[in-house]
Structure 1
């Protein structure tokens, strides 16, 4: 049995930073950015994912060396891996273009899966709602990032967000995390506090909204708390910040730690990731906990009696 299994596509990301014209090729996707920090914090990790025949062997070797179990990764030699072109603007926002997409993940891919927690994080509509429904039957903790449920793609592959008509699938979720824009698209509400409340009212136990450099808002029990972003030395590449936040959060959550401490660790993990291009900025417990303590001391309750 694994502590944490991440479900979603690996990706190959071509990242263009502000002031640059040549893209940098990096391994990406939630299975990368969520699994590795969780492993660095002591969790045993695996993934349920699919890639194409173009997925580099060196990426597989890199993941295995870092302790990520790949026994449920399916390689389809006749298909392509999910590939994104990600171009960052000077204001920190990004434009994303889907270049190719790997085959979808099916309910059958999780048959017999044993884990203390799963983090379901699609990036290109690859995970069906029926998989979420099946996961809750056997997995004690189910976490969801709905980014790939909300993403739509135009004829050129440009990514835009569109809400879904039926939010009933959220009743199965223990931990929910979305960016501010994703949360607004999902709920149709512009007020982030009200949007968190709507998600919680459906049945989610803990709802988290990431707000970029502002940190995160976390709704639990009858309150909403502001968890600040950890102090980082520099911001180079925000890719994977939200996914790595969840890696840190869930690694602590499955240990039974205080939820606000879990969020502090998530904030710390993501602060290291954005200091480098791609998934090279993960650190061990000592450094992660050092920044997490700074964050934890500055958490503020912003609303009560939701």
Structure 2
């Protein structure tokens, strides 16, 4: 099986109440691919970086078994750079600087040997670009997109066209309400299903994730953590865990989608415990399996009788 990932690749400057790091790995493609690599083989990246992107980081992706043939390196522009500052309540942040640089002209042409990918995960980019990617592919089994309020408010018509070609949309709770014009998340998810995708994943931050399909409603809490250092990329890391499991098992039944949500939750719980990708750069297998047990213990209880 193969999983194609298309999105941004960045060098971020991140400030949180627990520290500051400059020009560290970021971008949706980066987080999704690295996360997925722990659960599956056949990961393929498509993105663009600048001439300043560290070669050792490209080598890092290769070391994870990720095919980077689709990563373009600009000889004229620097890498996309975002500078964000998180408040004490890390659900709130301020964007200080967004320098698109090489990413400003990102117009992905999918390599020929990537076009037969079985599964596709498109990071949060312009829905016009997402549609262009989808139309270059040869009948993938399942396609997921991420989106945000910026596209819902600014390019709704384009987003709706892309949704018609999409199997899964990942969206946070406020964006689900905005897209559906519904306050209740279950009702919102059901309404979004009528727009095209049959699988809706609603990200609820520290409150976990909600899976909605025509026949299933499933919720997984986020793992309670004593220390969160950097929440950047948590949603993308979730997406990588989710799609990595689907690609590994080649099974998108409702029951396996539930397991995929757990995989996404586990990976997201690891990424937030350090800056950038450090939380998932080198995860020992026993640590990963222990985190799965933590989630299971958190959500299981003995049967009751009344």
1:257-276 Cα shifts (integer Å, max 9, x gaps): 71111101110111011011
Q: What does residue range 141-220 of structure 1 map to in structure 2 within 5 Å? A: 141-147=142-148, 150-151=149-150, 162=154, 164-166=156-158, 167-220=160-213
**Could you tell me which of 58, 71, 74 is aligned with 2:72?**
74
User: What does residue 121 of structure 2 align with?
Assistant: 119
Partners of 1:27 and 1:271 in 2: CA distance: 18
CA separation of 1:19 and 1:107: change in aligned 2, threshold 3 A: closer
Matches within 5 A, 1:88-99: 88-92=86-90, 93-96=92-95, 97-99=97-99
- Indicate yes or no: 2:8 matched with 1:9: yes
Q: Which residue of 2 aligns with 1:45?
A: 43
Instruction: Tell me what 1:229 maps to.
Output: 222
1:144 and 1:177 in contact (8 A); partners too:
yes
Q: TM-score, normalized by length of structure 1? A: 0.83
1:111 CA displacement: 4.2
In the alignment of these two chains, the number of paired residues is 288
Deviations 1:68-126 (A, max 9, x none): 22111111111232111111111211222412332444353354423221111134778
TM-score normalized by the length of structure 2: 0.83
The structural deviation recorded for 1:15 is: 0.3
> How far apart are residue 214 of structure 1 and its match?
0.2
CA distance in 1, matches of 2:232, 2:153: 18
Judging changes above 3 Å, is the alpha-carbon distance between structure 1 residues 201 and 289 closer, same or farther for their aligned structure 2 residues?
A: farther
**What is the deviation of 1:23?**
4.5
Q: Which protein has the bigger helix share?
A: 2
**SS of aligned partner of 2:110:** helix
Number of the residue aligned with 2:303: none
Distance in structure 1 (CA, Å) of the matches to 2:66 and 2:32 = 10
Per the alignment, do residues 186 and 218 of structure 1 end up closer, same or farther by CA in structure 2, a change over 3 Å counting?
Answer: same
Shift of 1:6: 0.9
Range that drifts further, 226-235 or 275-284:
226-235
Closer, same or farther: CA 124–174 of 1 in aligned 2, 3 Å: closer
